[in-house]
Structure 1
Amino acid sequence: MRIVPTAGLRLRFYTDPGEFLAAAGDYLAADPVVSTVVTTVAHRLLSQRAEGISPPDGNWWLVVSDGCGAVVGAGMRSAPYAPYPPFLLPMPDEAAVALAHALHERDEEILAINGALPAVELCAAELTRLGGGRVQVNQHTRLHELGELVMPSPVPGRLVVATEDDVELATEWFAAFAGDADEQAGRPRDASAHDVPDRTDMLRRLHAGRLWFWVDGTGEPVHLTGANPPSFGVARVGPVYTPPAQRGRGWASNAVAEVSRRIQAEGTRVCLYTDQANPTSNKIYAALGYRPVVDMANLVIAH
């Protein structure tokens, strides 16, 4: 752990996700929907460590405390894909600026930064003031939570749990989702950095039973929906992918609705992210009963 004091605030950097959760767990659990990405990753890395898998070098976890020692913000740098963007949860404005100074002093190369507004904007702006470059918006995202589920008009077929036998198709569709999401939002294909699981990671997801196919009336897979294991009582749905030839038939609405229904039936809250530039997905989820919680952004620092 490394402590950076600043103007009544304290930034504490951890390299151990377990120590991070011990320090910030109560704060994260108080708003588990907003903190879903950070808590999901921290708990996943702890589970992998229990399996003998060491966390990657260079990861850090941030806890921001006020003058009384109360936690008022958090973040992490644990993305497994280049350029390894930090992810920030809401925090005081001065903490976001102080974080930029701390990262600059640590000589960390920050070429992208994701997370809650306005923290990411303030941190990125200060990073460019200190180190040069300019901030560009790569993606505006919005986090939604499901209220009362509204079931869509039924379509043929049913939801089935993906199995180890589906590893190739699931991996192919994960990769296709990444590129198609950019195209649907009007960005160049593969403009965004995405975490596409390798075979080992995909098998781990399949063994956990958190990937589902919607199969049509003939039993043919026509859609994929995933969800993370619950963290502090919240599960996050994603990815949601329908191959181009199968779109517009209601597969996604029915699959997401059924996955969401099953998660809620377990007593777990359900959330998901949308790309604000994709009107189709935003319309689908709003119709199912998902309501906006917080706006976030993925920013790039160009030099």
Structure 2
Amino acid sequence: MRVIKQSDGKKFHETVEGLLMDREAENNLPIGILQRMFENPTTEDAYLLHMDEDGLPVYLAMRTPPHLWILPSLESAEAKHIQCLVRYLFDHNYDVPGVLGEEQAVRWFLEAWKRLNPAKEARLHMRQGIFRLDELQPILPQEGKLVTAVNAHIPLIIDWLEKFGVETNERLISRQAEELAQDMVGTQRAHLWVVEDQPVSMANRARKTPNGATINGVYTPDLHKRKGYASQVVWALTKKLLDQGCEYCALYTDLSNPTSNSIYKKIGYKWIGNSLVYHFESKDPSSKS
């Protein structure tokens, strides 16, 4: 088995798409990133690696700095694939700030990484559930309507993203709130639930895959919490995406938050897998990284 580094996003997409599409909804993150790179090949820096066995791709990993390494959900994944990947990353001095992805693959990665680099400590950041919706369930309608955010909403969305990053312990979101807000609004992905001309909740259409779309950035400020607005905005955005032709919608939840998990299940989202997010921290500042 060998690891092949690919610098051409289009070629990498063509090489690994078949592996990822067997579990399209679970792999919405790598598929969405690769699709964006395929459509706009010069917009994103990335490390793209796949494992080759007997001339065929058997596993892959990717990273778009400053984000973590992504490990996909593949039915054919084996511990030896992850061990080969880890050895390659270590031997070639790749920066490995952390890893996220399918639960078993991440555990294999942690075991292999600790053996090679005991000076690094793995810290669990979040245990996520991946949910998929194929058929929207009815909910009690509430006052308000779904609105696609416009430029006038950018200051509000910046403020909400900063607070969202604090609430979810996603510091990168808080630091990049202005850039993210401008991109979300500029691409007409940010949506608001508006009651009497006042935005009260937010949801974002994130990545698209060949047959579906992912929703993220669901946030309701404290003043408007516990009024059902998060359910309304996610339900309405899900319906909009299905009406536009998506066969399914997907989203991630923090499994330690039973409230949000309950909300999404009532709408029709069903659990399809888990994703672990780990950050690596040095025990010794002089250790290899």
**Structure 2 length as normaliser, TM-score?**
0.88
Q: Deviations over 1:58-111 (max 9, x none)?
A: x21122344361x3322211143xxx4201113321111111101000112323
Equivalent-residue separation in structure 2 for 1:274 and 1:127 (angstroms): 27
Match of 2:235 in 1: 257
Change (3 A) 1:253 1:93: same
Contact 2:29 2:207 in 1 (8 A): no
Given that 2:12 and 2:48 are in contact with CA atoms closer than 8 Å, whether structure 1 keeps it comes out as yes
Identity across matched positions, percent = 21
* 2:227 counterpart letter in structure 1: R
Q: How does 1:125-204 map to 2 (within 5 A)?
A: 125-132=111-118, 133-182=120-169, 193-194=172-173, 197=176, 199-204=178-183
**Alpha carbons of 1:40 and 1:197: their partners in 2 closer, same or farther (altered >3 Å)?**
farther
Alignment of 1:291 onto 2:245: no
Matched, 1:29 2:16: no
Q: Aligned pair 1:85/2:71, yes or no?
A: no
Report the Cα distance in structure 2 between the residues aligned to 1:153 and 1:293, rounded to whole angstroms. Answer: 26
How far is 1:17 from its partner?
A: 1.9
Q: Distance in 2 between matches of 1:219 and 1:247?
A: 17
Partner in structure 2 of residue 186 of structure 1: none
Please report how far the alpha carbon of residue 127 of structure 1 lies from its aligned counterpart in structure 2 after TM superposition: 1.2
Return the letter of the residue paired with 2:59. G
Q: 1:94: which partner in 2? A: 80
Q: Distance in 2 between matches of 1:202 and 1:42?
A: 22
In the aligned structure 2, how far is the partner of 1:75 from the partner of 1:42?
Answer: 12
Tell me, yes or no, if structure 1 residue 55 matches structure 2 residue 44.
Answer: yes
C-alpha change, 1:289 and 1:233, in structure 2 (3 Å) is same
TM-score norm. by structure 1 comes to 0.84
1:43 is displaced (CA, Å) by 2.5
Please tell me whether residue 11 in structure 1 is matched to residue 3 in structure 2: yes
1:123 aligns with 2:101: no
Alignment match of 1:106 (pick from 92, 95, 100): 92
1:214 pairs with 2:193: yes
1:74 aligned partner, one-letter code? L
- Note the residue ranges of structure 1 that are not aligned, 5 or more in a row: 1-5, 183-189
Q: 1:244 aligns with which of 222, 241, 251?
A: 222
For the residues of structure 1 that align with 2:219 and 2:177, how far apart are their CA atoms?
Answer: 18
Task: Please say if residues 125 and 135 of structure 1, whose CA atoms lie closer than 8 Å, have aligned partners that are also in contact.
Answer: no
User: SS of the residue aligned with 1:143?
Assistant: strand
Distance in 2 (CA, whole Å) between partners of 1:136 and 1:101 is: 20
Q: Secondary structure at the match of 2:168?
A: helix
2: CA distance between counterparts of 1:23 and 1:16? Answer: 11
* Maintained 8 Å contact 1:159/1:213: yes
Distance of 2:175 and 2:25 partners within structure 1: 23
Alignment of 1:222-233 (within 5 A): 222-233=200-211
Counterpart in the other structure of 1:278: 257
State the shift of 1:211 in Å: 1.0
3-state secondary structure, aligned to 1:107: coil
Task: Report the CA distance between 1:240 and its aligned residue.
Answer: 0.3
Q: How many residues align?
A: 277
- Secondary structure at the counterpart of residue 152 of structure 1: coil
Are 1:97 and 1:126, in contact at CA under 8 Å, matched by a contact in 2?
yes
Stretches of structure 2 that go unaligned for 5 or more consecutive residues are: 284-289
Q: How far has the Cα of 1:277 moved from its partner?
A: 0.8
Q: How big is the shift at 1:297?
A: 0.3
User: Aligned partner of 1:163: which letter?
Assistant: V
Q: 2:13·2:38 contact (CA, 8 Å) conserved in 1?
A: no
